A and B are shown apart, each in its own frame.
Chain A
Amino acid sequence: MMNGSIAAVRDAIDTLDLDNVCSLVQKCLDEGLTPEEIIEHGIGQGLDIVGKKFETGEYFLADLIMAGEVVKEAMPILKRRMNPGLASKRGTVILATVAGDIHEIGKNIVGMILSANGYEVVDLGVDVSASSIIDTARSTGARLIGLSALLSTMVHSIREVVEASRAAGLREQVRIVIGGACTSQALCAEMGADAYGETAIDALRIFNGFSQAA
């Protein structure tokens, strides 16, 4: 049976309780629970519930963002006592809005959800060239790449990243996931990317799949 204080943290994430999450996390630590236990059973399960509510239409994008903010509020308290390896235990994801496009809301939402779920996120920002993305993959060793595109006029930039990874000899090692207003499953196939996610929760599921398969 779940510890009552951890259940309260889980419920705080679920109910998007920005104001009380820190005191609830602190209570768990005061009771001797480890940060890892709080993250896995409190925050992690809370985020799972939020994700399910989003997929069933009970929660909306702003609620996903709010859940990320609630987690961000709690994380500094946990990080002070945490094993440094835990933050990136699921792997590193490079996120970028493709060259020629400066829209970043969707990318930032994905980044927030991935961070809250234990990924280390390297956010390269907007209007990022294929060479920068591949250089970062090489220098960080990251094998997961998320590309965002809103403008239909810029979709060719996705193919440039795929080709740059091939030219760098990394195509077999990296997984390239696309998302954004102008993207689709068909575009994913056309550009030679590995997966398409329509929502941030889709993205999380896809990266989890790639991360576990690695």
Chain B
Amino acid sequence: MHPVERVIRTLGGKETDRVPTFCAMVEERTYNEVLGRPLISQEKLLTNPAVRFILDRWGTPLTRYVFQPEVTRSMEKRIRAQVELGFDALWAILDETFIIIDHHTMVRFTGSRFNLQPDGHGNMTYMYREPCFRTTEDFDAWPYWPDADALAHSAYTFFRKMVSRYGHKACLFGQASAYGIQESLLWAVGFEKMPVWIRREKDRVRRFIEINEELCLKTNMAMLDAGVPVIIQTDDFAFKSGPIMNPKLIDELFGPSYRRIIKAVHDRGAKYVLHSCGDNTLLFDTFISWGVDGLHAFETTSNVDIFREKRLHGDRVTIIGGVGVDYLLTDRSRDEEVTEEVRRLIAGLGPGGRFIISPVHSLSTIPAHKLTVMLEAARRYGTYPISTPPKEAS
């Protein structure tokens, strides 16, 4: 069976030949191991005093012409590496959301500030630092709101190329410059103030949601026009111990937007997958009511029980994830441990279909070799009918 058919059938709840595999993206360290290291590492380049000087002086105007093309090249390398590793499905991102402020600061166009910093493996990565909207004046004067039409245009151009290069080898889960509506709000106003904004700044919060919904709708349509078969959206609605806010409030605030976004994807015959970190146990029914076809990550460091969720919801939604990145997919684990965990997950989650095995995250600590071990085990144990007795799964 072709990987795209295998994945689409699984997302639709239909029988397939084996459990598909999905890669939750790869970071620079991992794709360098697959594709070969660059002559000059990102860290050496971006910590060079001359480059720092340039970024500090002219970072913002150079973002579009120098920084962004490099980021886009990096995004294509991520896709290529995932294909070369041999995954059935992969996370393909176009990220045109950042503006460089100085050599260690970037802002995302929806109002959040990020550190640009070394990842410990010779590359640069970004990490959320703080909100940009401390006051309503900050919100009203924000100069970087996204141009959804321009972003949709570049999403179409990028994904047309990616589909033509890689679409026949793997199923592309596309995401183009639109991050989760809720998490974007959280980053923009800060978690400590988000409940107050929601209570006191209803009009601005509504405006913020509308801007992000429009961005999702337009970039999703552009990706679908380019031939992407699955749209994936990140929106971390939970922390380690449970939902960030009351599930009812989440549904009231963000549900209408997500229902429209997902309906538009379904109207064009495509599938929709939501990635949400943390323990979403109390939110799965809400997500399913929005119309999602698949749910990713079932983070192993949170309290979520992926086996329970498969039993409860496996007839209505495809469970994607399960392979931990805190220990299993690191240099510290043994290959046999990865193989055994893949076998255990497939034994417990594979029967009945609607399961795609996948790392729960992308991290710079993931060695390419461990992903290969995971893939080999998935192919060995994942052929239907699953032969491992289910009682061996916990």
**Chain A residues packing against B (C-beta within 8 Å):** 18, 57, 59-63, 65-66, 68-69, 102-103, 105-106, 108-109, 112, 152-153, 181-182, 198-199
With an 8 Å Cβ cutoff, the count of chain B residues facing the other chain is 27
**Residue contact A62 to B194, C-beta cutoff 8 Å:** yes
1/0 per residue B168-204: CB within 8 Å of A?
Answer: 0000000000000000000000011011100110000
**Residue contact A62 to B241, C-beta cutoff 8 Å:** no
**Residue contact B243 to A60, C-beta cutoff 8 Å:** yes
B239-280 interface with A by 8 A CB criterion: 239-246, 249
Given A198-B241, A199-B241 in contact, is the A66-B246 Cβ separation under 8 Å?
no
**Residue contact A181 to B244, C-beta cutoff 8 Å:** no
Residue B32 interfacial (CB < 8 Å): no
Residue B127 interfacial (CB < 8 Å): yes
- Nearest chain A CB to B288's CB is how many angstroms away? 20
1/0 per residue B189-232: CB within 8 Å of A?
Answer: 00110111001100000000000000000000000000000000
Give Cα A18 to B199, complex, Å.
9
**Residue contact B129 to A62, C-beta cutoff 8 Å:** no
**Residue contact B196 to A69, C-beta cutoff 8 Å:** yes
**Residue contact A69 to B195, C-beta cutoff 8 Å:** yes
**Residue contact A63 to B191, C-beta cutoff 8 Å:** no
**Residue contact A152 to B326, C-beta cutoff 8 Å:** yes
**Residue contact A60 to B240, C-beta cutoff 8 Å:** no
Kindly identify which residue among A18, A65, A198 contacts B191, using a CB–CB cutoff of 8 Å: A65
- Nearest chain A CB to B213's CB is how many angstroms away? 21
**Residue contact A63 to B115, C-beta cutoff 8 Å:** no
- Nearest chain B CB to A116's CB is how many angstroms away? 13
Give Cα A152 to B302, complex, Å.
13
Give Cα A103 to B194, complex, Å.
17
Supply 23 A–B pairs (Cβ within 8 Å), ascending by A: A18-B200, A57-B242, A59-B246, A60-B243, A61-B244, A62-B191, A62-B194, A62-B244, A62-B249, A63-B245, A63-B246, A65-B191, A66-B195, A68-B192, A69-B192, A69-B195, A102-B128, A105-B191, A106-B239, A152-B301, A152-B326, A181-B239, A182-B326
Nearest residue, chain B, Cβ from A104: B130
- Nearest chain A CB to B324's CB is how many angstroms away? 10
Nearest residue, chain B, Cβ from A181: B240
Extra contacts besides A18-B196, A61-B191, A109-B191 (19): CB < 8 Å: A60-B242, A60-B245, A61-B239, A61-B242, A61-B245, A62-B191, A62-B194, A62-B195, A62-B246, A63-B195, A65-B194, A105-B191, A105-B192, A108-B191, A152-B365, A153-B365, A181-B239, A181-B240, A199-B241
